[in-house]
C-alpha cells in the first residue's frame, strides 16, 4: 500500500480536513486505511477573504488571483504539520489529492453564462511547496462533457460501501447535504446521487448571527425551540426541492443572502425557534431527497457522515421523517464521519494516476466517463 494525503475544504468553511491514507488497488478492489486525520482551522484572515470573494457584490479579480495562491500556501502548511506529527517526509508520500476551495459553482447554463466552476488552491503551487505530486481541480473534466461537476464523492461511496445484499444511502451533511443511493448488487451506472439542499449551512449562519457560536452543538439550541410553521412552509416552497435529479446546489442558492432573508423577515421570533425551524427544514429536505430513491418494499440503510453527523438532534429529526429506515453513521463502519470526503478525493486521485475514469454519469449528468483532475508533477 502507498501513502497519500487528501485535502477537503467544503462550503461550511469550518476547517480544512486533511487525511493521511494508505491505499492500494482500484475501483471495487480499492483498499484504504485512514492512518491519521485532522481538521485544521482556516486562518481567520484567509476565511474572511474567502467569505468576501464568495459575495458576488464584493469579489474582485485581483483578490481572487491572490487568494488562489494563498489557499495553496495554507494547505501546504497544514500538510507539513500532519507529516511532522507522523514523523514522515515528503518522499514518503506518493501523492496529494486536493479538492480546493469552491468559490463559485454554476451547474446550469443561463442566458449569460455557461455551466462552469472555480476552485481555488492551485495544484501546481501546492505540489511545488510540498515537493509531492498533486492531483487537483477534479470538477472541470466532468463539466466539460455536460456534467454538473458534482457530486463526485459517489464514486468513492460505491467503491467502499456498495453491498450485494443491502440497499444503502450514503448521506453527507456538510454545508450542503447530499446523498448517494447504492442499489444492492448494483453497478456504477445504477448509482443515484444528488444534493438534497442545505446541510449545516443555514443552521450555522443563524447560530453565528444569533448566538455568536459557530454551530449548534448536538442540536441543543434547536431542542429548546418550537417550529415556526409559517417559516417552515415558506422555506419548503423553494423550487430546488422539486427538481429531478441529477441536481446540485451550493452557497449561491442557500448562503448568506438566503439566511439573511430569514433573519430579516422573522426577526421578531425567538432565537431558539428560528434554529429549531431551520433544523427541521434541513431534516425534512434530506428526508425528501431520500424518499426520491428509497424502494419502500426493501429495507434501506442510511449511513451519515460529515460535520452534521455530530448534530444528534438533526439525526433524530431525519429519522422521524424516515420511520422505516435504519440510520447509522460511517463511524459504525470504522470511518471517522469527518474524514470521508478527504478520503474520497484520495480514491479519486488514485484512479486519475492510474488513467482511470471516476465520475458517476448518473450522478452528474455527464455524457461520458472521464478521467478527473489535473496532475502537477514535481522533480524528485
Residue 108: predicted pLDDT:
87
Asked whether residue 245 is domain-assigned, the answer is yes
Cβ atoms 342, 17 nearer than 8 A: yes
The beta strands (E) that lie in 255-373 are given as 300-305, 326-329
Task: List the domain range (segments joined by +) for residue 320.
Answer: 154-333
Q: Calculate ∠ Cα 269-275-279, nearest 5°.
A: 135
Do 205 and 136 fall within a single domain? no
Asked whether residue 212 is domain-assigned, the answer is yes
Q: How far apart are CA 271 and CA 209, in angstroms?
A: 10
The closest of 223, 222, 228 to 210, measured between CA atoms, is 222
Q: What are phi and psi of 220, to 5 degrees?
A: -65, -35
Asked whether residue 368 is domain-assigned, the answer is yes
Across the range 212-232, mean pLDDT stands at 98
Model pTM? 0.93
Asked whether residue 42 is domain-assigned, the answer is yes
Do 214 and 251 fall within a single domain? yes
Residue 36: predicted pLDDT:
98
Asked whether residue 188 is domain-assigned, the answer is yes
Residue 234: predicted pLDDT:
98
Grid-cell match 418550537, residue found: 226
Do 285 and 161 fall within a single domain? yes
What's the CATH number where 49 sits? 3.30.420.40
Residue of higher predicted confidence among 226 and 109? 226
Q: How far apart are CA 181 and CA 167, in angstroms?
A: 8
Share of the chain above pLDDT 70, in %: 100
Dump pLDDT digits (tens) for 279-332. 999 999 999 999 999 977 788 999 999 999 999 999 999 999 998 899 999 999
Residue 224: predicted pLDDT:
98
CA distances from 320 to 66, 87, 172, 227, 286 (A): 46, 46, 18, 15, 12
The closest of 127, 140, 68, 62 to 96, measured between CA atoms, is 127
Grid-cell match 429536505, residue found: 285
The closest of 202, 190, 273 to 235, measured between CA atoms, is 202
Do 320 and 179 fall within a single domain? yes
Do 237 and 363 fall within a single domain? no
Burial (CB count within 10 angstroms: exposed 0-12, middle 13-18, buried 19+), residue 28: exposed
Q: How far apart are CA 343 and CA 211, in angstroms?
A: 33
* Cell numbers given for 111: 442566458
Do 35 and 135 fall within a single domain? yes
Asked whether residue 338 is domain-assigned, the answer is no
Number of domains in the chain: 2
Amino acid at each position: 500500500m502507498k501513502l497519500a494525503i487528501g485535502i477537503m475544504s467544503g462550503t461550511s468553511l469550518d476547517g480544512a480536513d486533511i487525511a493521511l491514507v494508505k491505499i492500494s488497488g482500484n475501483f471495487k478492489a480499492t483498499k484504504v486505511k485512514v492512518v491519521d486525520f485532522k481538521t485544521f482551522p482556516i486562518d481567520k484572515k484567509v476565511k474572511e477573504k474567502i467569505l468576501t470573494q464568495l459575495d458576488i457584490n464584493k469579489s474582485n479579480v485581483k483578490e481572487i488571483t491572490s487568494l488562489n495562491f494563498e489557499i495553496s500556501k495554507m494547505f501546504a502548511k497544514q500538510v507539513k504539520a500532519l507529516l511532522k506529527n507522523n514523523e514522515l517526509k515528503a518522499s514518503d508520500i506518493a501523492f496529494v489529492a486536493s479538492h480546493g476551495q469552491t468559490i463559485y459553482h454554476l451547474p446550469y447554463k443561463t442566458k449569460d453564462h455557461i455551466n462552469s466552476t472555480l476552485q481555488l488552491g492551485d495544484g501546481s503551487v501546492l505540489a511545488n511547496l510540498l515537493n509531492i505530486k498533486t492531483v487537483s481541480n477534479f470538477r472541470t473534466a466532468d463539466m466539460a462533457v455536460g456534467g454538473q461537476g458534482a457530486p463526485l464523492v459517489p464514486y468513492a461511496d460505491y467503491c467502499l460501501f456498495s453491498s450485494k445484499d443491502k440497499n444503502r444511502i450514503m448521506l453527507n451533511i456538510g454545508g450542503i447535504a447530499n446523498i448517494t443511493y447504492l442499489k444492492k448488487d448494483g453497478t456504477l451506472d445504477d448509482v443515484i446521487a444528488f444534493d438534497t439542499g442545505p446541510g449545516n449551512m443555514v443552521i450555522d449562519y443563524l447560530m453565528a448571527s444569533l448566538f455568536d457560536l459557530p454551530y449548534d452543538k448536538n442540536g441543543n439550541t434547536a431542542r429548546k425551540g418550537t417550529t415556526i410553521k409559517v417559516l417552515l412552509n415558506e422555506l419548503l416552497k423553494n423550487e430546488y426541492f422539486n427538481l429531478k435529479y441529477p441536481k446540485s446546489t451550493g452557497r449561491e442558492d442557500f448562503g448568506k443572502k438566503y439566511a439573511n432573508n430569514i433573519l430579516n423577515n422573522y426577526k421578531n421570533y425567538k432565537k431558539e425557534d428560528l434554529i429549531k425551524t431551520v433544523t427541521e427544514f434541513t431534516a425534512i429536505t434530506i428526508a425528501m431527497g431520500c424518499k426520491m430513491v428509497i424502494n419502500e418494499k426493501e429495507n434501506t440503510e442510511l449511513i451519515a457522515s460529515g460535520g452534521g453527523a455530530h448534530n444528534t438532534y438533526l439525526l433524530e429529526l431525519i429519522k422521524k421523517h424516515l420511520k422505516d429506515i435504519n440510520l447509522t453513521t460511517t463511524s459504525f463502519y470504522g470511518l471517522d464521519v469527518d474524514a470521508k470526503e478527504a478520503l474520497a478525493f484520495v480514491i479519486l486521485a488514485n484512479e486519475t494516476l492510474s488513467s482511470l475514469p471516476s465520475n458517476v454519469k448518473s450522478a452528474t449528468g455527464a455524457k461520458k466517463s472521464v478521467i478527473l483532475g489535473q496532475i502537477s508533477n514535481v522533480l524528485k
